[in-house]
Amino acid sequence: MKSEIKEIEKKYLSLLIDRIVHLRKAKGLSQEKLAIQSEIARSLMRGYERKERNISFANLIRIIHFGLEMSVEAFFAEGFDTDGKKRKQ
């Protein structure tokens, strides 16, 4: 059970980071600019994008709200499902 949980955590952390990177690039932001706007260390942002570090909830909110300038709801609304399809309500 523990290994299954770890695999699920790893999978969704990867999807989360992929979403951040995709949106960062779509908005024309460098890694450094996103870090500055989010008020987190550039080295931390680099570690997130390399998937070397786990992202805290507080930093996730900073990145979404201040760095990407979007709502948390919008961040998770599209493009986060593993199969690329919206889930049935």
Q: Dump pLDDT digits (tens) for 20-39.
A: 999 999 999 999 999 999 99
Q: Is residue 84 over pLDDT 90?
A: no
Any domain includes 64: yes
Prediction pTM value: 0.84
Contact assessment for residue 42 and residue 32, using Cβ atoms and an 8 Å cutoff: yes
Any domain includes 15: yes
First and final C-alpha spacing in the chain: 28
The whole-angstrom distance between residue 21's C-alpha and the CA centroid of its chain comes to 7
How many domains, in total, are found in the chain?
1
CA distance readout (Å), 79 to 3, 76, 84: 26, 7, 6
10 vs 83: which has the higher pLDDT: 10
Q: For the segment 41-72, what is each residue's pLDDT rounded down to a tens digit?
A: 999 999 999 999 999 999 999 999 999 999 99
Domain span holding position 52: 2-77
Any domain includes 54: yes
Q: Find the range with the poorest average confidence among 2-11, 24-33, 35-44, 76-85.
A: 76-85
3-class SS at 71? coil
